[in-house]
Amino acid sequence: MAFYITTAISYVNGVPHLGHAYEAIATDVIARHRRQIGEDVFFLTGTDEHGEPVADAARAQGIEPQALADRNSARFKALMPQLEISNDFFIRTTDQQHKQRAAEVLQRVHDRGYTYEGTYEGWYCPRCADFKVENEILEGNRCPIHEIVLTREQEQNWFFRLSAFQEPLERLYAERPDFVMPAHRYNEARAFIGSGLEDVSLTRAHLSWGIEVPWDRSQVFYVWFDALLNYYTALWYARPGEDLTARYWPANFHVIGKDILKFHTVFWPALLMAAELELPRHVFVHGFLLAGDGRKMSKSLGNVLDPFEVLERYGADALRHYLLREVSFGQDGPVSPDGFQARYDAELANEYGNLAGRTLNMLERYCGGVVPEVATDAALREEFAGLFARVDELLGTAELSAALEEIWRHVRRLNRYVEENAPWALAKDPGRADELAGVLASLAEGLRAVTLALVPYMPVKTAALLAALGAGEQNERSFASHGWGGRVSALGPLFPKDPAPAA
Ligand code: MSP
């Protein structure tokens, strides 16, 4: 089964920050989970390189927009392997093929009569590259996102007949209550549509940094239409010599932040309808990571927390775990270095790391380094019975934190199981050798099960642990009734306390 998932593509007027990392990580967890259950996944991410903000930032630095885009796009691209992101392609909207294909789609929208020439006048935020409607504007004519003063702009350009899609969009929302998730975002999008759609400007006359409008060479496309189409164009050229569109279109999941809801839940489906293309199955809208001061972290607010320090010292898995555990996915929430440290120590070093360490040690010490091939504990098996089904169900609706909580309950259960059964005491009594073998087979199987469930979240450490457990080939997503006889090998602390920075 094909499964196509995307992140938003990042603006290259700035450099990557924790908010970008968060979205990539969350999307990666879903992609890895889908691969793990055997689906044919295509995972797309990339950079959004045209438009006013990039042109302005380049001008301020005295360089060409293309040079700025090259430099910053490379930084976003380099971040992906550092975060262990398993994207199948990295699109840049300055790619020649993207420009060609996007222009073709928009030409079709024009040919089908959904554009017209007009004069646009409105309050414009150059950072958002967006005109703001009256009810979004803050006091003093400021941008609700960037809080900078808006400028009054007027120009001749081409319009997209968004208003023609009022009814089709209302029908879409009535028929598909899971088109936008979570539910409060669906309600927000539906309310926006319900308040009445106005046509939007599709092109820009005063800007040259963009995709040329094929039927009017004096204009370039407004960056949002160019950018949204990345989800479609990438499939055409991601794999040289092969067009993946039929295989993966439409997207199953577009993962985006709440600030770009309107574009993805209103403009995007309307544009696809205008171009006669199939609509995505779901748009998942996540919240914002907030800085200590409670405001959103963003470059323009100057309160960015650098993910690179965490990565350098603790590695990608620890960052991935922290972000998805700390902030309930779909909500906003604060993140901080102290919060990271507390969770790292309590959950990774103590709970999971210790469970792994002592299980491996006891297998070595009491079982000659082999997972006993005996029956596992029936009661524990019962408790683990629903784990994978529940995780699959939660991840199916992008409830990443809830699924992780479910897994973590089982990690804690295993630590209690160790305490309850005290294998070190059993080992002192030769008459209880069978019991000891059963307990350790159960622990090994429990650890294998939670670790397999954690693979999408922490791909590096889980691979090392599964290998050390001699369970590298044991991919059965259930709690087996027997130990598998794997040969255990030594592994240093999975999550060492106070690790030294990587060399
Ligand atoms: N270029 C547009 C998206 C075009 S998609 C066709 C854009 N770029 S962005 O660089 O500003 O943001 C990229 C993504 O990161 C967005 O989904 C945005 O919501 C998300 N985040 C940016 N800052 C964030 C936080 N502080 N917290 C969580 N996500 C954040 O928008």
Of the residues 9, 127, 226, which should be mutated to test ligand 1's pocket, given the most ligand atoms within 8 Å of the CB?
A: 9
| Catalytic pick among 50, 98, 99, 125 | 125
Q: Of residues 143, 264, 286, 321, which has the active-site annotation? A: 143
- The span from the CA of 417 to the CA of 409, in Å, is 12
Q: What is the share, in percent, of the chain residues with pLDDT greater than 70? A: 96
C-alpha of residue 298 to centroid of ligand 1, in Å: 9
Q: For a ligand 1 pocket test, name from 5, 6, 7, 11 the mutation site with the most ligand atoms within 8 angstroms of its C-beta.
A: 11
Ligand 1 is surrounded, with C-beta below 6 A, by: 8-11, 19-20, 22-23, 48, 227-228, 230, 256-257, 259-260, 288-289, 296-298
Give nearest CA residue, ligand 1 atom 30: 19
Query: pTM of the prediction?
Result: 0.94
Residue bearing tokens 């928009």? 106
What's the half-sphere exposure (Cβ side, CA atoms, 13 Å) at 470?
20
pLDDT in tens, the chain (503 residues): 999 999 999 999 989 999 999 999 999 999 999 999 999 999 999 999 999 889 888 988 999 999 999 999 999 999 999 999 999 999 999 999 999 999 999 999 999 999 999 998 888 888 776 777 777 789 999 988 789 999 998 889 999 999 999 999 999 999 999 999 999 999 999 999 999 999 999 998 877 899 999 999 999 999 999 999 999 999 999 999 999 999 999 999 999 999 999 999 999 999 999 999 999 999 999 999 988 666 666 556 655 567 888 899 999 999 999 999 999 999 999 998 888 999 999 999 999 999 999 999 999 999 999 999 999 999 999 999 999 999 999 999 999 999 999 999 999 999 999 999 999 999 999 999 999 999 999 999 999 999 999 999 999 999 999 999 999 888 999 999 999 999 999 999 999 998 877 65
Distance (Å) from CA 233 to ligand 1 centroid: 20
Tens digits of residue pLDDT in 460-485: 999 999 999 999 888 999 999 999 99
Q: How far apart are the first and last CA of the chain?
A: 42
Instruction: Give the number of the atom of ligand 1 that is nearest the alpha carbon of residue 228.
Output: 6
Known catalytic residue: 262? no
Q: Are 18 and 289 in contact (CB under 8 A)?
A: yes
How many angstroms separate the CA atoms of 179 and 168, rounded? 14
Task: Please confirm, yes or no, whether 143 is among the known catalytic residues.
Answer: yes
* Alpha-helical runs (H) found in 37-164: 52-61, 65-82, 96-111
Best CA proximity match to 209, nearest among 199, 201, 198, 220: 220
Please identify, by atom number, the ligand 1 atom nearest to the C-alpha of residue 289: 27
Q: Compute CA 215 distance to the chain's CA centroid, rounded to the nearest angstrom.
A: 37
Cα of 256 from ligand 1 centre, angstroms: 7
Q: Judge whether 482 counts as a catalytic residue.
A: no
The reply to whether 17 belongs to the active site is yes
CA–CA separation, 129 and 174 (whole Å) = 31
